[in-house]
Amino acid sequence: MDSRLVPLHAMFRLHTRLFLNCFDEVSDETARLRPNEDTSSMAFIALHMHDARHYLAKFIGVEESNPFEQITATAHSIDEIEIYPSLAEMRTAWLEVTAAMDRGFQELDADSLSQPPPAADFEFPFEDGTLLGGIGFQLHHEAYHIGQLALLRRIHRLPAMSVHV
């Protein structure tokens, strides 16, 4: 693994753990609750994070199918999601894509990290136009949503998210 990727990979591993910790003591029913009509549910954010992590997987050259793609492929908003996978299914899928991506991170070398990222469906709002910069931005995106999940835990009167295993 290129040394520039080491701290980003550590962040990726941290996000993996924090995502799982956000759902400790959360029932499927609680995960689907919306605090109000303008706020996402934990389950919706989890589905979005799965989509984003699978996108990051492809970004680094890992082809791993998203088991929830059929649920989110045609939805443009939370109101269009009619069925959610269980949290157990989402935890399992999260660990599966993570394992595949761990192998993908190991294969990234200095040359590939310095190249422009693969064509994206949209323009990333970052100045570093390299694959390395794109990985950094996408990990920032994960951190943003982990913060949302942690806040939703507290709104649902659950204990604060643990940072430990």
**Domain spans of the chain, in order of start:** 3-155
For residue 62, the one-letter residue type is V
Per-residue model confidence as pLDDT tens digits over 89-115? 999 999 999 999 999 999 999 999 998
Cα–Cα dist 60/63, whole Å: 9
Query: Sorting pLDDT into bands at 50, 70 and 90, what band is 117?
Result: confident
Q: What percent of the chain has pLDDT over 90?
A: 78
Is the pLDDT at 123 greater than 80, yes or no?
A: no
For 3-155, which CATH superfamily applies? dinb family like domain (1.20.120.450)
Q: What is the pTM of this model?
A: 0.93
**pLDDT tens-digit readout, 21-52:** 999 999 999 999 999 999 999 999 999 999 99
Tokens matching residue 6: 């080491």
pLDDT, mean of residues 64-78:
89
DSSP 26-41: --HHHHH--SSTTS--
Residues 6 or more apart whose Cβ sits within 8 Å of residue 101: 12, 53, 56, 57, 60, 62, 64
**pLDDT category of residue 122 using cuts at 50, 70 and 90:** low
- Predicted confidence at residue 143, as pLDDT, reads 97
Q: How confident is the model at residue 126 (pLDDT cuts 50, 70, 90)?
A: confident
